[in-house]
Amino acid sequence: MKRSICILLFLFIANQLYAQKRFDVFYLGANENFMQQDSLKRTKNYEASLFANLSVPLFMKDSSIWMTIVDYQSFSINNNYLQTDSSPIDRFNLHAFIIRTGYIHKFSEGRALQILVIPRVMTDFNAEFKKSFQLGGMVMYEKVKSKTYTYRIGLLYNQECFGPYLTPIFYLDWSITQKLKFTGMLPVYGKLYLEPSKNLSYGLHFVGLTTSYRVNENNFENYYVERNSIDVSVFSNLRIWKNVFFEARAGYSITKDYALYAEDQKVDLGLPLAYIGDARVRSNYEYENSPFVHFRLLYSVPMN
């Protein structure tokens, strides 16, 4: 009985706080970029990626929530190294372990504040832990304007390998019509889609991310890789069994780069699509843009 009450309380609070129809508890995904030949004319340079995500809410007596989200990401790609390198890093194998945990306080009906601490370990498994550790955070204020329109405004911060990185964010959950909807946290991700039934949705999707990883290889001790990616795609999300969904995306990376820098190459401040005080000199060539496919399996529970 207590378990049933907790589940009902979870669904009620989440529906009121987030104004979303479903809550993604877990997903497992994979991504493949079909990149062109690199500067060394190797026959292929595919980017292979894996993703896993688990979200666990803990509910307080005052209707607030303590949320913990655990992410794992891995990326593997050939290094587009300089032809003058006598002993280069041949391939990047990068791993991200990210925890987002914090407090979501509900002030009143339709108003809430979200404060998250975001520690990360960004590594190639050769770099020292203390140099791979990063600390960031996020603050967002939420306003539920109606049953069909919710927004949040805030800031996302992380101490990257290249220096501080700050992103002003605007979250929007908007049912434009009964079937046409937009959901996203701009400028990080967003999707405009049609939802003709509870079992199917399809539309346009984009994601733009900047992250950095410590690497430590022979002749490249104490270096880091800055990964930049802007992906635009069409997608389809299909219920395959009860609360299990399968999502497929196909699109084009209009930006896809893995820039290699020595650890002393810093910027004063990083912003989306811009850097202040950037005089860095990279240690590899730029990457070409490329098409990609993305698949993921989700366990998502109904919110109403």
Does residue 165 register a pLDDT over 60?
A: yes
Determine the pLDDT at residue 10: 39
Mean pLDDT on 59-64: 80
Does residue 110 register a pLDDT over 90?
A: no
pLDDT in tens, 33-42: 987 655 555 5
Beta-carbon contacts of residue 57 (< 8 Å; ≥ 6 apart)? 10, 14, 65, 66, 67, 68
Does residue 4 register a pLDDT over 70?
A: no
Determine the pLDDT at residue 6: 42
Mean pLDDT on 118-143: 97
Determine the pLDDT at residue 86: 83
Does residue 291 register a pLDDT over 50?
A: yes
Does residue 1 register a pLDDT over 60?
A: no
Counting residues of the chain whose pLDDT is more than 90, the rounded percentage is 74
Determine the pLDDT at residue 108: 83
Q: What is the mean pLDDT of the chain?
A: 89
- CA–CA separation, 257 vs 272, rounded Å? 15
Does residue 20 register a pLDDT over 70?
A: no
pLDDT in tens, 246-267: 999 999 999 999 999 999 999 9
Mean pLDDT on 16-40: 73
Domains of the chain from N-terminus onward: 2-302 (2.40.160)
Determine the pLDDT at residue 44: 63
pLDDT in tens, 169-217: 999 999 999 999 999 999 999 999 999 998 999 999 999 999 999 999 9
Does residue 2 register a pLDDT over 90?
A: no
Residue 288 pLDDT class (50, 70, 90 cuts): confident
pLDDT in tens, 205-258: 999 999 999 999 998 999 999 999 999 999 999 999 999 999 999 999 999 999
pLDDT in tens, 93-104: 999 999 999 999
Mean pLDDT on 84-109: 92
Q: Which of 78-92, 240-254, 290-304 holds the top average pLDDT?
A: 240-254
Give the amino acid at 208: G
